[in-house]
Every structure is written in C-alpha cells, then in structure tokens.
Chain A
Amino acid sequence: MQSSSPKRKTSFYLLAGFFGLFILFLYGPMLSIFILSFQGVQGSMTFPLRDASTHWFGDLFTSTRYGDLGGAFRRSMIMAIAALALTAVICFFAGLAFRKRFWGSGPIFYLAIVSLVIPGLLLSFGIGQMFQLSGMPLHWMISGLGAHLSWTLPFGLLIMFAVLNRFDSSWEEAARDAGATPSQILRYVTLPILFPGLIAVALFGFTLSYDEFPRSLLTLGTRNTLPLEVANMTSSVTTPALYAIGTITTVISLVVIAVAFSAIAIVQRRRSKRMATS
C-alpha cells in the first residue's frame, strides 16, 4: 500500500511535464538514430523499422562508397587524444600559474579566454589564411590540432580554475615545511589531490575535439576528420549507414566517459582501500 502523501499541486504536474519534454528533446533524437541504425536491408532512413538487422554496420566496413571513413575515424581519435593530453597538461600548469598575480596575468587571461567568444568558423578561416600566407601547407595534426586547442585550452583553463577553487595552498606549504622540494610537492601533493579534477579537464579536451566541426572546416588540409566526413556524406549517402556511424561514435564517446569515470572511481577506491586494510 502506498502511504498517504499530500496531494500534488497543479504546478508539480506542469513542471514535471516540462521536464519530460526537456528529456524527450535531449534524448529522443539520439534514441531514434540509434533505433534506425538497426534498419533492415530494405528499410529507408525513416520510421518504421523493417526487419531489424546490423546490415548497415557491416556495410560501413565493407562497402567502398563511404570513402575514407576508417581513416577519418582514426584521425579524429588521434586528434582527440592529443587534445586530451595537451589540454590536461597545459591547463594544469596554467591553472597553477594563475594562482599568483604575476605581471600581465590579467591581460593574458583575457587573451586566452577571448578565443571562446570568436565564432569557430571565422577562426577556421583565419587559420587557413595564415597558413596560406606563410606558405605552410595545412595539415590536420598541425593547423587542425591548433584550431581545436584554441577551443579546448580556454575551456579547460576555466574548469581548472573551478577545480583549484577547492585546493588549499596550505597543503603545499605543509609539504614545503616537511622539507619537500618543489618537484616532490608537485608529485606527492598537488598532482594527486587535483587528479580527479584533472580527469574532468582531459575529458573536455577529448569530447570538444572529437566532435568539432566549424574549427575543422578550413584547417584540416587534404584529409578529413569524422565530423567533416559525416557532413560530406549527408549529401551523397541516403542510407541508414549514416545512422550506424552516429551510433558507433556515440558509443565511443560513452566509452571514453566511462573510462574516465572509472579512473576517478579507482583512485578513490585505492584511497579508501588503503584506509580499510591495516
């Protein structure tokens, strides 16, 4: 038996309805793509689902009409991992540096943040122009990665500030007082305490780069990354294979996030395990 609860007000149902719509809007499209990617051989790009199969996933890997999809995926992964590593390392040290009011720290901070405001497409144009002017060829791992970093670094720096907000610098002082050298303080105190936050920074570096479209448009040179490749395909490919790509990339994103969260969980487990065993 349900215990008697006070009668809900109308506002509760209105707000709950609104929240339901919000959830539907967030996950509905993703869910439809996910379902339609399992369309049968005879099925079209729209509902209804006929004879569910994994045909279009196989088609992606066997057919030649999708161009260099595997290469684009590989490049996207390499770039995203490079962005992850560079964002984590640079934002970690930049965040630590900005704790001090060094000479010019204000202007440098604003310069770093302004690139968040500049439209990505414009930035993409500019980088393309700059490389052309200086006679350097565009390359996805050079101009492309640079364009992605202009997006991930300021983002990562802002997250790092939030992470550092809860960091008490007297921990470092206590380590110094115990005779630790600056590198020991970094290794034994600062880095381990900030590590969970740092994973969040790295994760943003990865996902922001992995699905970046506007900043990639004119900076990649002759080879495409996955978002550009998929965008190209929308005009030429008219099969549910497109949805299969969507499903695969979403799953990969989820796996990366899951790996990151388990990394945080493992760190915390190790801490509590050390506490439990004597």
Chain B
Amino acid sequence: MSAKGEIRIEKISKAFGSLLAVKDVDLSIPAGSYCCMLGPSGCGKTTLLRMIAGHETPTSGRILIGGEDVTDVPTGSRGTALMFQNYALFPHLSVLDNVAFSLKVQGQGTAQRRDQAMNMLKRVQLSHLAERVPAQLSGGQQQRVALARALVTNPQVLLLDEPLSALDEFLRLRMRSELKRLQTELGITFVHVTHTQPEAIALADQVIIMDHGVVEQSGHPREIYDQPHSPYVARFMGGQNVIFGTVGTKGKDGFAVTDEADNKYKLDSALALAKGQKVAFAVRRDGAKLASGKGRSDNAIKGEIRNIEYQGTFVKVALKTCQKDEFLVYLSDGEYFASPRKVGETVSAIWPIERNHYLEGENNSSGDPTGH
C-alpha cells in the first residue's frame, strides 16, 4: 500500500509537436515531503508539474498518486491542487468566493462553503479582506488567496508553479518560510517548481534538478549541493568550482590529474579511471584557501585575482585561471583580513585532496537559470 500523497512517475514523456519537453522521467516523491523541482527555463519542470496536476496529458508513461494510477483521471478529481504562477484569481469574485469556488462546483450550499472558505482565509491571515476583489490586493495578499483557494479542497498534493517569482525579495523570504510552515502543519506533499537554487535548498526535503527534459539528479538538498552529479548540477546549484583535467598515473595517494596550465590535482584511487581520460571534478568554494602564487603545490590552481567582494560573513575572491569558469574562493572575513589581497595579484588556491569531488555525469551546460 502506498501512503496518501505519494507520487510515482513512471517513464513519463511529453512531446509538443516534434519537441520533446519531458523525456522518459522516472521519479518517486514520498508522501508528506516538500519537493522542489529545479532547473533553467525550458527544462521541462513546469510541464512535469502540469502533468501531475492533469493539465497536460503525458505522451507516454504513468503517474500514480497515493498508489492509484491517475494518468487518465481528470484534473480536479485526482487529489491535487495547483497554485498558478500568476495566481489566476477570478477577477469577478470576492476573495471569499474565490476561495469557496471549488466547494461551489462540488454543489455545497452558500453558507456552508463560505464558512469553510473563511476558515481557510483565517489560516492565511486574510479574513479581514474576504470581501475585496483580487484587483484590490497586493501581490503578497493575492498569493495567500491563491494558496487558500488551492488548500480548501484538502488536496493530498499541493503543486506550486514558481510561487515566489512575482514577489519582491523581502516578501519572497517571508512567504518562503510560511510555505514551509504550512507544509509541516498540513503534512501533505508539496511539489514546488522554481529556478532559484537558494529557494530549493531552503525548502526542500527532496530536490529534483532537471535539464533538457531529463532528471539530472534527485536527492536531499545537501547531497545535491555537496555531491553534484555533473558539471551542470555543480554550476546550477552554485557553491562549487568545476575543474577539467586529464588523468595521469595512479599513485598510492590517488590518480594524478593535470589541467592545461599544468596545475596538479589528485582524485580518489577508488575511482575507475583510465590514464589519458578527460575528467571533471568539483571543489567547494568554501573549501579552498589562498596561498602566494610563487612555486607550485599539489592540489592547487594558480590564477590572477579578478574581483574581491566583501559579503559580510565572508569574502568572495574570483580568480582567472586556465579553466573556463572563474575559480571562486569564499574566505571567512577573519581569515581574509588577516592577509588581504589585491586585484591583479597572482595567487594559488589550495585545498585538501579529499575536497575533490569527481563529477561522473557528462552534462556540461552553463547552469544559467534563464536558459542556455
């Protein structure tokens, strides 16, 4: 038996004409979890969400919710509720009637449905605006109405399409924690589509990162952030530097790897690598230290300082190296100001061998959230 609100996606594909938006996706989202689907625009995350909601029909594959095959069950009777990106509040109905809409179409009496809708509005702290029309509300208030309208049906699964993208920075952070609080309180499954990585990390129990219609990696946010599967995931999640090199000989402390500028690194000897193989690996930005640019040490990269930004709790130093991407080092402010640097200086970034994380996936997309 599957728990209520568990979502299983089996071999789902969706084609729009000749364009394959979602390719053969297999996924499992546990009941009662907060799941974020992350990826650049056009990666298929919204299409996948709309298929779970029933607004798009998959070209092939099955969708199961709570163990039940809902692939052909119409929207509105599969236990899901979708919160639209633009909220899609009915402009001709009051806030109260917007929230009561789904109860009205179920045939509930006016008094009963308004009572129930009012309770839901109290839950999102909007009962005092019940008689307004949506055009008289601020963006944040409209969003709460949309949330209340979706939740009033007691869905097993709440689907949120970029719910925070229309809000300003301050409101976004507030609504973010409110969403998390609601999900914990209600204990239902939330599936939240976003293209902002901090949002996903902050909220999710499970992050699904997509690109070009396929799932690149799925797991706990820490796992995805710390152990990305491919250069694309490492870049998209941020916090990592991606380094490309060629495998040399295997010593007792691991495989020797050299890059184009003859910087030398070491990768774990347990990996199955062959001599001459091109490899990519990631190093966390907060894992490296800076040393003087003279001489050469192992597991270090030489570069010229391009930019120094003070960020309050840390200092961000950008190095121009032989690699395609800038190499970023996050130093704690105490550490940095003990030996400040100048732009234009040549330095080495150096880190312990065990910080090297081998990237087995091949996707080398830029990880730019606005597309490619």
- Give the chain B neighbours of A192 by CB distance below 8 A: 92
In the complex, which residue of chain B has the Cβ closest to the Cβ of A193? B92
- Give the chain B neighbours of A180 by CB distance below 8 A: 76, 101-102, 105
Given A175-B101, A176-B75, A184-B105: A170 and B130 within 8 A (CB)? no
Distance, CA A212 to CA B90, complexed state (A) = 39
B105 in contact with A174 (CB, 8 Å): no
B104 in contact with A276 (CB, 8 Å): no
In the complex, which residue of chain A has the Cβ closest to the Cβ of B95? A275
- Min distance, Cβ A41 to any Cβ of chain B, angstroms: 55
A178 in contact with B153 (CB, 8 Å): yes
A278 in contact with B130 (CB, 8 Å): yes
Given A176-B55, A177-B75, A179-B76: A188 and B101 within 8 A (CB)? yes
A173 CB–B CB distance under 8 Å: yes
A193 in contact with B131 (CB, 8 Å): no
In the complex, which residue of chain A has the Cβ closest to the Cβ of B98? A174
- Min distance, Cβ A64 to any Cβ of chain B, angstroms: 53
Q: Count of chain B residues with Cβ under 8 Å from any Cβ of A? A: 31
- Min distance, Cβ A165 to any Cβ of chain B, angstroms: 15
In the complex, which residue of chain A has the Cβ closest to the Cβ of B50? A173
- Give the chain B neighbours of A188 by CB distance below 8 A: 101, 104-105
Distance, CA A178 to CA B89, complexed state (A) = 12
B81 in contact with A275 (CB, 8 Å): no
How large, as a class, is the contact surface on chain A? 20 to 34
A179 in contact with B102 (CB, 8 Å): yes
- Min distance, Cβ A118 to any Cβ of chain B, angstroms: 37
Distance, CA A189 to CA B77, complexed state (A) = 19
A3 CB–B CB distance under 8 Å: no
For chain B, what secondary structure do more than half of its interface residues adopt (helix, strand, loop), or is it mixed? loop
B106 CB–A CB distance under 8 Å: yes
- Min distance, Cβ A82 to any Cβ of chain B, angstroms: 29
- Give the chain B neighbours of A181 by CB distance below 8 A: 105
Q: Which of B54, B90, B153 contacts A193 (CB 8 A)?
A: B90
A19 CB–B CB distance under 8 Å: no
Distance, CA A274 to CA B106, complexed state (A) = 22
Per-residue 0/1 for B100-136: is the Cβ within 8 Å of any A Cβ (1 yes, 0 no)? 0110111000000000000000000000001111001
Distance, CA A104 to CA B80, complexed state (A) = 36
A178 in contact with B149 (CB, 8 Å): yes
B76 in contact with A276 (CB, 8 Å): no
B84 CB–A CB distance under 8 Å: yes
Per-residue 0/1 for B70-98: is the Cβ within 8 Å of any A Cβ (1 yes, 0 no)? 00000111001110101011111010010
Given A168-B86, A174-B90: A179 and B105 within 8 A (CB)? yes
A277 in contact with B101 (CB, 8 Å): no
- Min distance, Cβ B53 to any Cβ of chain A, angstroms: 6
B106 in contact with A179 (CB, 8 Å): yes
A7 CB–B CB distance under 8 Å: no
Given A170-B86, A188-B104, A277-B131: A177 and B94 within 8 A (CB)? no
Q: For residues 1 through 28 of chain B, which have their beta carbon under 8 Å from a beta carbon of chain A?
A: none
- Give the chain B neighbours of A193 by CB distance below 8 A: 90-92
A9 CB–B CB distance under 8 Å: no
- Give the chain A neighbours of B102 by CB distance below 8 A: 178-180
- Give the chain A neighbours of B94 by CB distance below 8 A: 274-275
- Give the chain A neighbours of B55 by CB distance below 8 A: 173, 176-177
B88 in contact with A178 (CB, 8 Å): no
- Give the chain B neighbours of A168 by CB distance below 8 A: 86, 88
- Give the chain B neighbours of A278 by CB distance below 8 A: 130-131
- Give the chain B neighbours of A179 by CB distance below 8 A: 75-77, 102, 105-106, 153
A100 CB–B CB distance under 8 Å: no
A18 CB–B CB distance under 8 Å: no
- Give the chain B neighbours of A178 by CB distance below 8 A: 76, 81, 101-102, 105, 149, 153
Given A179-B77, A179-B106, A188-B105: A275 and B90 within 8 A (CB)? no
Q: For residues 157 through 202 of chain A, which have their beta carbon under 8 Å from a beta carbon of chain B?
A: 168, 170-171, 173-181, 184, 188-189, 192-193
A8 CB–B CB distance under 8 Å: no
- Give the chain A neighbours of B106 by CB distance below 8 A: 179
- Give the chain B neighbours of A271 by CB distance below 8 A: 92, 133
Q: Which of B84, B133, B150 contacts A170 (CB 8 A)?
A: B84
Distance, CA A276 to CA B104, complexed state (A) = 22
B88 in contact with A276 (CB, 8 Å): no
- Min distance, Cβ A274 to any Cβ of chain B, angstroms: 5
- Give the chain A neighbours of B53 by CB distance below 8 A: 177
Given A178-B101, A179-B77: A189 and B90 within 8 A (CB)? yes
Q: For residues 317 through 338 of chain B, which have their beta carbon under 8 Å from a beta carbon of chain A?
A: none
Given A168-B88, A177-B53, A178-B149: A275 and B132 within 8 A (CB)? yes
A274 in contact with B153 (CB, 8 Å): no
Distance, CA A220 to CA B102, complexed state (A) = 51
- Give the chain B neighbours of A170 by CB distance below 8 A: 84, 86, 88
Which of B92, B104, B106, B153 is packed against the most chain A CB atoms within 10 Å? B92
B92 in contact with A174 (CB, 8 Å): no
A171 in contact with B88 (CB, 8 Å): yes
B131 in contact with A276 (CB, 8 Å): yes
- Give the chain B neighbours of A184 by CB distance below 8 A: 105
Distance, CA A188 to CA B90, complexed state (A) = 10
In the complex, which residue of chain B has the Cβ closest to the Cβ of A276? B131
In the complex, which residue of chain B has the Cβ closest to the Cβ of A278? B131
Given contacts A168-B86, A180-B76, A274-B94, list 16 more A-B pairs with CB under 8 A.
A173-B82, A173-B84, A174-B82, A174-B84, A174-B88, A174-B149, A176-B55, A177-B80, A178-B101, A178-B102, A178-B149, A179-B76, A271-B133, A275-B131, A276-B131, A277-B131
A-B contact pairs, 10 of them (CB 8 A): A168-B86, A173-B82, A176-B75, A177-B55, A179-B153, A188-B101, A189-B90, A193-B90, A275-B132, A275-B133
